[in-house]
Amino acid sequence: MVKDHPFADGNKRMAAASFVGFLDGNADAFGDGGKPVVTNNDLAAITLLIAVSDPGEKDLMIDLVERMLTVTEVRK
């Protein structure tokens, strides 16, 4: 969604909101004590990083997001 620009405006915002919705739908959005797993700063940073990345780095970006979530799981 960040790369394909399906909307006239707000593609990064929609992608970030969709990601949070995905995490919430999979019961992974909140850790112990109701704290969000991905902070607002994390979400903004990863969204912008994906937006400026080269399309050839898609696998790297997927790996980065997966590692971010795994590290977050360990911190819970």
pTM of the shown model: 0.72
Handedness of CA 6, 12, 17, 21 (dihedral sign): positive
Instruction: Confirm if 49 and 64 have CB atoms less than 8 A apart.
Output: yes
How high is the mean pLDDT in each 10-residue block of the chain (76 residues)?
Answer: 83 89 76 76 89 92 85 52
pLDDT at residue 28, rounded to an integer: 67
The whole-angstrom distance between residue 2's C-alpha and the CA centroid of its chain comes to 11
Instruction: With H, G, I as helix, E, B as strand and everything else as coil, classify residue 27.
Output: coil
| Domain segments of the chain as ranges | 11-75
Position of tokens 């971010």? 68
pLDDT at residue 57, rounded to an integer: 92
